[in-house]
Amino acid sequence: MSAHDLTFVLGGARSGKSAFAERLASESGLPVSYLATAAVSDEPEMRARIAHHRASRPAHWPTVEVGRDLAGAVLETAREGHCLLIDCLPLWLAGWLCPPDDGPDAPADDTQWHDVVGQLTHALSTAPGKLIVVSNEIGLGVIPMGSLTRRYVDELGRLNQRVAALAPQVRFVVAGLPMAVKG
């Protein structure tokens, strides 16, 4: 199963992937909605990152902070003649595997996580309109220390593979330079 108008944008931290995805959305000529996956944090560094992303995108783009239900947000927000920008999968995954200690959610077990990934890939493959999904490629380095970190890297790699398989177009951004990987 593949999505008819899905572009998957990958890159490392501060590679320019979000700016490139925002440019693709703007250049689509369609109305754009933005699904933000970052949980609001008390950490000053994370708050600064969120503020940077908010400031970089046009104020007229409606933004939905999705929390854990990314699949539901995709199905609710996507529509024909519209562009939906999802930024980014790693923060969404972190909300599932490493939820805040003071929050109501427990970390997902393998069964729950695989069900959630299935729901997301179904949503991405059936949602109408143009979709742009942003993710980090973090599998280019050493095998991380610690079982939770290894699980995170493994699950993000598997999730990226599933989304890339759905997407007719995949772009990899390095130092602000997008490269065509697929399509």
pLDDT value at position 139? Answer: 82
Element (H, E) at 73: helix 70-77
pLDDT value at position 44? Answer: 78
pLDDT value at position 3? Answer: 62
Residues involved in catalysis: 53
pLDDT value at position 68? Answer: 92
pLDDT value at position 99? Answer: 81
106-120 burial string, b = 16+ CB within 10 Å, else e? eebeeeebeebbebb
Question: Per the confidence metrics, is the pTM higher than 0.85?
Answer: yes
* Residue stretches of the chain with pLDDT short of 50: none
What percentage of the chain carries pLDDT values higher than 90? 73
pLDDT value at position 43? Answer: 74
pLDDT value at position 85? Answer: 98
pLDDT value at position 106? Answer: 86
pLDDT value at position 91? Answer: 92
Rg of the chain, C-alpha, whole Å: 16
User: Which own/partner pairs from 143-151 qualify as long-range (CB within 8 Å, at least 24 positions apart)?
Assistant: 148/97, 148/98, 151/97
Q: What is the rounded average pLDDT for all residues in the chain? A: 91
Element (H, E) at 83: strand 83-87
